[in-house]
Amino acid sequence: MRKLSLLILGAAIGAGSATMVSQTSLLSGMSAVAASADTYRQLSLFGDVFEKVRTDYVEKPEESKLVESAINGMLTSLDPHSSYMDAKSFRDMQVQTRGEFGGLGIEVTMEEGLVKVVTPIDETPASRAGILANDIITHINDEPVQGLNLNQAVDKMRGPVNSSVSLKIQRKEAKDPIEVKLNRETIKVRPVRARVEGDIGVLRVTQFNEQTFEGLRAGIDKLTSDIGADKVAGFVIDLRNNPGGLLDQAIMVSDAFLDRGEIVSTRSRNAEDTQRFSAKAGDLTKGKPLVVLVNGGSASASEIVAGALQDHKRATVLGTRSFGKGSVQTIIPLGGNGAVRLTTARYFTPAGRSIQAKGIDPDIEVLQDIPEELKGKDETKGEAGLRGHLQNGGEKEERGGSSAYIPTDATKDKQLIAAYDLLHGVRKGAANTTTAPN
């Protein structure tokens, strides 16, 4: 069996997917399989239809697009997470998993058709140029942002390192637009944010890219130093609305809090392809109590971490039921023609639980107070709500998604407050034991 590197990729909120990436091409790397005569007849039918469309459609079609659409149609008919990625989508995926790119260092969102700065990242071209939170970017290289979607605007701000880009900015207190010219640098995405809350360390993990474990380790070291090793009451690992990322990072993040035992296993159609991943000795927090926060937007890699720490009784999982993304995809590069993402396995928690279309149920359920205008809009469908999803024990055993709402005001975040209260009351027991699952 070829050795495959494992990843988990988050495509959207709560829709991260466990993924393997093969280093060979689809056609040269896959074993030939004898097709039945009926299959050959169906392939001949496809050829006939393709030729008819190519020659007789009312406008001349782009033949490569026809083939790509046919491939994607075949893959998407299997389940919601199998698909074809063209060359650009594949490159974007690789940028996402590396967690670094040529850019300006601005976290942005879209507001009323314009790009609004959420925050400039410290020590980047944006912060050095004086760009501030709430600035509105109206033009990029003299092209109006109005009419672009967020991804298109972000693509225009990214580019080769040392290349330049000009921005026109509208600032609330400024009468005239501000124009700045910046040189792009290598920007590293910050997947982990650490902060002190009294005697508690909070680690907010937003995705699992190549920077996550190092960010987590650095965050634990800083929090321990800032609070004092003997004064730390515990840590909150906030995985809410984290859609997934690299599998090896999910394993290392889990291992950071475990001394031994299985973390996750992946099982495909062939039993001999089963893989198991176990913890190594060494707990970076020295056994301090842990609370893991999850909600309806926590998927895939997030669920692997939450499931491993829950099964080993290393942490108390608090919040609402997670998304339920429990399948593994293999990404097979096709030379310069993109890649195929194909569902090939399911993953299981240390206790042998498949969370596919079920999710991780928290040990302690805590519901947020939902603003009136968001009621009914705060819940994710969950894996069970996706058309064509892999079944898990029948529909009656499956469970839909839960709320993914997090208040912007931390003083109103009931889940976070409950985590603080729990850590202040817990010194021994479920939150800091490391026994193996039953």
Which residues are annotated as catalytic? Answer: 300, 311, 325
Residue 381 φ then ψ, to 5°: -70, -30
Please name the residues in contact with 423: beta carbons below 8 A apart, sequence gap of 6 or more: 200, 233, 234, 235, 236, 289, 291, 431
Sort 44 into a burial class: Cβ within 10 Å, 0-12 / 13-18 / 19+.
exposed
Nearest to 361, CA basis, from 411, 397, 414, 386: 397
Q: How far apart are CA 304 and CA 325, in angstroms?
A: 10
Using a 10 angstrom Cβ sphere, with 0-12 exposed, 13-18 middle and 19 or more buried, the burial of residue 187 is: buried
Residue type for position 107: E
Taking the CA atoms of 94, 267, 237 and 280 in sequence, report the sign of the dihedral they define: negative
Distance CA 135, CA 374 (A): 26
Distance CA 114, CA 397 (A): 44
How many residues are present in the chain? 438
Residue 229 three-state SS: coil
> What are the Cα distances from residue 222, in Å, to 201, 239, 255, 289, 293?
9, 19, 19, 17, 21
User: Within 13 A of 67's CA, how many CA atoms are on the CB side?
Assistant: 7
CB 382 within 8 A of CB 243: no
Q: Determine whether 352 is exposed, middle or buried from the number of CB atoms within 10 Å of its CB (0-12, 13-18, 19+).
A: exposed
Q: Which residue pairs from 125-133 have beta carbons closer than 8 angstroms and sit at least 24 positions apart in sequence?
A: 125/182, 125/183, 125/184, 125/185, 126/182, 129/180, 129/182, 130/180, 131/106, 131/167, 131/169, 131/180, 132/171
Q: How many helices (H) and strands (E) does the chain have?
A: 10, 21
